[in-house]
A and B are shown apart, each in its own frame.
Chain A
Amino acid sequence: MEKLVIAGEELDSRLIMGTGGAPSMQVLREALTASGTALTTVAMRRVDPSARGSVLDVLAECGIRVLPNTAGCFTAGEAVLTAKLAREALGTNWVKLEVIADEHTLLPDPIELVEAAEQLVGDGFTVLPYTSDDPVLAHRLEQIGCAAVMPLGSPIGSGLGIRNPHNIELIVERANVPVILDAGLGTASDAALAMELGCDAVLLATAVTRARHPARMASAMRHAVEGGRLARLAGRIPKRRYAQASSPFEGLATS
């Protein structure tokens, strides 16, 4: 199957993982391995001298490329500084750009997001913006020069799935960069739907890390993403109002 390509670089999986919410590094390691992911997000925070084990070590052991995010930033200025610190700390110019409006909904602030995206693209970053499911905003982010657009399915961590599939389809139809469904997925069918709608990849964390069995859910997500992608490429049948017999009527025995 054709590989996901972001900014000219091939990735071996269409499932991008987050690391937040895992109860331990061991659980995280098992879940990431089961997911088959090739790209995984981390957050940037002040060093904690009491921290035991580093998420970076886990990603390095698993051979997974790191994608720093700007989670927790409310303004373009904060997000740009965080992205620059991540570039310095991790040696990557890829960034999952997240600029949120408030802690209650964690929805993106579109105005600050566009401002930050412009600055970071101008500074040579490969910008993957977490955005709302607004096709107009997604298009603007692509025009600015973002390497992908990452619309939410529903609020971060909510598990509400894809609340506006029509908007996701509109984004997919118009995009010339990869569309990555980011946030809100709760279970495997949500990931499959994202891929059936035409998304190029899925990014999720909570659905796996807070599942009763994280590694098992990671495996479910991996299969769902592959299944949904195959279904999209295969082309689903049109929906009909009435039944269409799958067995012929001709040649039926008569009494």
Chain B
Amino acid sequence: MKVIVNGEPRELPEGASVADAVAAVTAAAAGLAAALNDEVVRRSAWEATLLNEADRLEVLTAVQGG
């Protein structure tokens, strides 16, 4: 299935979770947050939250700014 991760289309296997998609875009283990279709998914729910075709996932971290 195709999902949009950080604005880029990405092919993921059926049944992929938020945790799988996050691992596909970053090796970082901490300082991350994810929003699925504009709703924050708590870190503790990443494994259990499965993605669907055309979902939009944003994976953010802290960068220099302000």
Whether B66 pairs with A56 at a CB distance below 8 angstroms is no
User: How far is the CB of B58 from the nearest CB of chain A, in Å?
Assistant: 7
Whether A19 pairs with B6 at a CB distance below 8 angstroms is no
Whether B6 pairs with A47 at a CB distance below 8 angstroms is yes
Docked CA distance A51–B30 (Å):
14
- Asked whether any CB of chain B lies closer than 8 Å to the CB of A145, the reply is no
Whether A98 pairs with B64 at a CB distance below 8 angstroms is no
Docked CA distance A69–B62 (Å):
9
Whether A46 pairs with B32 at a CB distance below 8 angstroms is no
Name the residue of chain B whose CB is nearest to the CB of A19.
Answer: B64
Docked CA distance A72–B58 (Å):
16
Binary flags per residue of B23-40, CB closer than 8 Å to A gives 1, else 0: 001111011111100101
Residue count of chain A within 8 Å CB distance of chain B: 36
Whether A89 pairs with B61 at a CB distance below 8 angstroms is yes
Name the residue of chain A whose CB is nearest to the CB of B31.
Answer: A56
A-B contact pairs, 30 of them (CB 8 A): A19-B66, A20-B65, A21-B64, A28-B64, A41-B66, A42-B66, A43-B62, A43-B64, A43-B65, A44-B63, A45-B60, A45-B61, A46-B58, A47-B26, A55-B62, A55-B63, A56-B30, A56-B61, A68-B62, A84-B33, A84-B35, A84-B40, A85-B33, A85-B34, A85-B58, A85-B60, A88-B34, A88-B43, A89-B61, A90-B62
Chain A residues with CB below 8 A from B66, complex form: 18-20, 41-43, 67, 69, 71, 96, 98, 205
| Number of residue pairs spanning A and B whose beta carbons lie under 8 angstroms apart | 100
User: How far is the CB of B44 from the nearest CB of chain A, in Å?
Assistant: 10
Docked CA distance A20–B61 (Å):
15
Chain A residues with CB below 8 A from B26, complex form: 47, 49
Chain A residues near B (Cβ < 8 Å)? 18-22, 28, 41-49, 51, 54-56, 66-69, 71, 81-82, 84-90, 96, 98, 205
Whether B28 pairs with A47 at a CB distance below 8 angstroms is yes
Given the interface pairs A47-B26, A47-B60, the reply to whether A86 lies near B33 with Cβ below 8 Å is yes
Set A21, A42, A205: member contacting B62, Cβ < 8 A: A42
Docked CA distance A44–B30 (Å):
14
Whether B28 pairs with A85 at a CB distance below 8 angstroms is no
- Asked whether any CB of chain A lies closer than 8 Å to the CB of B59, the reply is yes
Docked CA distance A85–B32 (Å):
8
Chain A residues with CB below 8 A from B31, complex form: 54, 56, 89-90
Chain B residues with CB below 8 A from A81, complex form: 35, 38, 40
Chain A residues with CB below 8 A from B33, complex form: 44, 84-89
Whether B38 pairs with A66 at a CB distance below 8 angstroms is no
Docked CA distance A1–B32 (Å):
37
- Asked whether any CB of chain A lies closer than 8 Å to the CB of B13, the reply is no
Given the interface pairs A85-B35, A86-B33, the reply to whether A46 lies near B59 with Cβ below 8 Å is yes
User: How far is the CB of B9 from the nearest CB of chain A, in Å?
Assistant: 15
Chain B residues with CB below 8 A from A18, complex form: 65-66
Given the interface pairs A46-B7, A71-B66, A98-B66, the reply to whether A88 lies near B61 with Cβ below 8 Å is no
Docked CA distance A1–B43 (Å):
41
